[in-house]
Structure 1
Amino acid sequence: MMEAKFAKKDKPYGKAEFDKFLGEYDAISDVPMVLFADELIEAYPNTKVILSMRDASKWASSMQESIWLVHSWSTWDIIAPFHTLISLWRKCDTMDWDCFINSSPERPSMKPKRRDYQTDKYRALAIQRFHEHNDHIRKSVPKENLLEFQPQSGWKPLCDFLGHEVPNEEYPRAWDKEALVTAATQMWWFGIATVLVKLGIPFAVAVGVCWWAFKVLA
C-alpha cells in the first residue's frame, strides 16, 4: 500500500482494496492510514473525520522526546536483521516518517530517506508538514463531516459529533512519551538478547568442535 502510492510500484488503492482490510472496522487512526487521507475520503465520501489538534511546536518537542528519539538509536540497524518483528517495525515506521516528511499532499514521495530525527532542520520540516496536512484536510472534507478536536475538551464535542452519549468516565490518556520510550527500550534489550543468542550459539558450537578436535587429534 505504501509503495503503491509513494513509490509507484503497484496499482493505487481504492475502495475495493480498502474494503478488504477495513470492512470490519468502524474507525481508523494514526499511521499509515493518515497518509492516505485523499484516497480514504474518495472511497468513503460520507465518513466523519476527526482532526486532532494541538500546538505544532509542542507536538514536535514531544516527538523529539519519544518516537524520533527512539528511531535515532542507530543500533536498531544492527539488531533488525536478527529479529523479524523488530525488522518489520523498523522498516514500516521509518517508511511512514519518510513519506510524511518528504511528501506534500500534491507531491507524494518516500525519497530521500531521512534519519536526522533530532536536528532542527527535521523539526522545522515536520512542523511545516503538520500544518500542510491540517490545511489539506480542512479543504478536502465537507465542514459537516469534520471535527477539529482537542483532547483536553473531553468527551462531549467528540460524542456530539459522532452521535453517542457521553460516557460516565474520565477521558482516557494513554501511550504518553514516557510509556513509548519505555516500551521501545524493552524491545531494544530483547533485540540485543536475540543477537547475543544467535551469535553466541554458533560461537559456542565452534568452540566445542575445536575442543573436541583437539582432544581427539592430540
Structure 2
Amino acid sequence: MALSVIGAGFGRTGTLSLKFALEQLGLSPCHHMMEVFANPEQAPVWLSAARGETVDWDSLLSGYKASVDWPSCHFWRELAAHYPEAKVILSTRDPQQWYKSISGTIFPAMAGGLPEEGPQRDMLTMVRHIVSDKVFSGATDQAHVLDVLARHEAEVKRSIPAERLLVFDVAESWEPLCRFLGVPVPDTPFPRTNSSEEFQARLS
C-alpha cells in the first residue's frame, strides 16, 4: 500500500484533527506522531532517516494510507518523490496562534533530561533531533521559529505543483479537503481535537 496523502504541515497546525478527518474519509490509518508513541520501534528508524541514512519508506510506512505531523512532515520532499501519485496537504494556521501553541506543548515536552534507556529515550531522542535540532536549530525564540515556519511553507508551495497541493486550515472544515480529495462531504462535524490542554494532559 502506498501513501495517498502526504502532510507537509508542522505539528500544532491541526494535524491530529486532520489525521482523524482523513481516516474518516477512508485514508485509514494515517500516520502521526501518536502512531510512533503507539509503535515505539519506529522511533529509531525515523531517527536514522533524519541522520541521512537510507530508509525503506515502504517498510516504515507499511499499511498507512496517509501521513501528517512530525516526524513524517520533516520528510515531505522525500515522501513526495517516493510516492509521486500522492497528494500533498500543507496544514497551516495563524502564525501567532501556532507559536503560542507550540511554545506551550511541544517545546516544553522536549525539555529536560533523557531517560536512561528504553522506548521513551528513543522517542525523545528522535523528536529532539528532528524538531529541535533539524527544524529549529535548537532555538525557540519567536522571531526565529516564525521565520522557520514561513520559509518552510513557502518552500512547500514553491516545490509542489499547485494541482497536487492543498494549503489547508482545519478551521475551513470539510469542503476544501473533500473537494481536493474528490470525495463526498460527510454529514458529521469536522474533528476538533488535541488542544494545548489535551496535549498537556497526555503528558501529565
Same fold (TM over 0.5): yes
Q: Structure 1 length normalisation: TM-score?
A: 0.66
User: Which residue in 2 is equivalent to 1:158?
Assistant: 177
Gaps in structure 2 of 5+ consecutive residues:
1-44
Higher helix share: 1
Q: Does 1:127 align with 2:146?
A: yes
Q: Distance in 1 between matches of 2:59 and 2:109?
A: 32
Q: Distance in 2 between matches of 1:2 and 1:167?
A: 34
Gaps in structure 1 of 5+ consecutive residues:
103-113, 186-218
Mark the CA change 1:49 to 1:172 in structure 2 (over 3 Å): closer, same or farther.
same
What is the aligned-residue identity percentage?
26
Question: 1:67·1:181 contact (CA, 8 Å) conserved in 2?
Answer: no
User: Which residue in 1 is equivalent to 2:167?
Assistant: 148
Higher strand share: 2
Q: Distance in 2 between matches of 1:149 and 1:180?
A: 22
User: Which residue in 2 is equivalent to 1:99?
Assistant: 134
Which amino acid is the alignment partner of residue 52 of structure 1?
Answer: S
Which has the higher Rg, Structure 1 or Structure 2? Answer: 1
CA RMSD across the alignment: 1.9
Q: How do 1:7-86 residues align onto structure 2 when only pairs under 5 Å count?
A: 7-8=51-52, 10-11=53-54, 13=55, 17-72=56-111, 74=112, 76-77=113-114, 80-81=115-116, 84-86=118-120
Higher relative contact order (CA 8 A, sep 6+): 2
SS of the aligned residue for 2:199 comes to helix
Q: Structure 2 length normalisation: TM-score?
A: 0.71
Which amino acid is the alignment partner of residue 56 of structure 1?
Answer: P
Aligned length: 159
Structure 1 residue runs of 4 or more that deviate by more than 3 Å after TM superposition: 1-8
String of CA shifts for 1:93-122, please: whole Å, max 9, x gaps. 1122121112xxxxxxxxxxx3x64xxxx3
Q: Distance in 2 between matches of 1:7 and 1:20?
A: 18
String of CA shifts for 1:172-193, please: whole Å, max 9, x gaps. 11111111111112xxxxxxxx
